[in-house]
Amino acid sequence: MYKYSISTFNKDFPDDTACLEWLKGHRYPDGIYCEKCGKVTNHYRIKDRTCYSCYKCGTQVYPMANTIYEKSTTPLKHWFYAMYLMANTRSGISAKQLERELGVTYKTAWRIFHKIREMMEEEHDRSDTADKTFELDETYIGGKKKGKRGRGSENKSIVFGIAQRGNKIIAEHVDNAKSKTLLPIVAKNIQSHATIYTDEFLSYRRLNDMNYHHGKINHSIKEYVSGKIHINNIEGFWSIMKRGINGVYHSVSSKHLSKYINEYTFRYNNRKEPGFMFHHLLCRASSLYQS
């Protein structure tokens, strides 16, 4: 299994200049097209600035434009290192720890992490799901009041998850756990005739009517596995995500919960390629970005 070590990171990206050169190569792999000259031309770096100038006409190009780095005064290597840390920690890393490692303010560290988390949102292909097996479940995060846990608990944020066995996780923050909320998400991501396993929650009772092969495990009688019927994969992901949130971040506001879900699903879905996770994230974060 390929691993990307901190020594390799520092060798590849020793300073801001190396990071900017990588960004230029990523944004313009075939060379920089000069709008004024009407063709790809050679460009040279302008000293002490994050731009490159056409050697013929002097038109300037800024590789950081329209990326998450635009208008940021934070050194580019700090951004790259933050992505390296997020990709190489199983449970995440807090903004407070990044503040200490980079010597920046907490506000800056927090902003860096939240911008990166936005890049972690993944798209899912529904086209090859008809013959696959999935698990559905929902979990409850946060809340200030003590008392009942799980379904029916007060002041909790609800996260709905879909796990394809042997593959990826889809998870999103939802307003409620009613069937009219959850089932459209299922239909959006899973083709008919797929096999779906759930617990006995009533919101899933119409899955057979939607032409899915639906099997249920009855947790209320302490039944957790019945042959192939179980939801252990999605519950295992919930365990990882909750341990990370509770242990690293301690609490997450409902407003920003979706970004943290992006982080944990991205890391889980790329867990088999830890060495490439950083590069994958770096390419995403260094591409065109709409704020």
Q: Where are the domains of the chain?
A: 133-254
pTM, rounded to two decimals: 0.82
Give residue-wise pLDDT tens across range 232-279.
999 999 999 988 887 776 667 788 888 889 889 998 898 877 678 899
The pLDDT, as a whole number, for residue 92 is 79
Give residue-wise pLDDT tens across range 147-203.
555 555 567 889 999 999 988 999 999 999 999 999 999 999 999 999 999 999 999
Question: What burial class does residue 147 get, using C-beta atoms within 10 Å of its C-beta: 0-12 exposed, 13-18 middle, 19+ buried?
Answer: exposed
The pLDDT, as a whole number, for residue 203 is 95
CATH class of the 133-254 domain in this structure: alpha beta
Strand stretches in 188-280, DSSP E: 195-198, 213-216
List of residues 6+ apart from 86 with CB closer than 8 A? 92, 93, 113, 116, 263, 267, 281
Give residue-wise pLDDT tens across range 105-155.
999 999 998 888 888 887 777 877 878 999 999 999 875 545 555 555 567
pLDDT(28) > 80: yes
Give residue-wise pLDDT tens across range 42-81.
999 999 899 999 999 999 999 999 999 998 999 999 999 9
Smallest CA-to-CA distance from 138 within 91, 192, 175, 166 is with 175
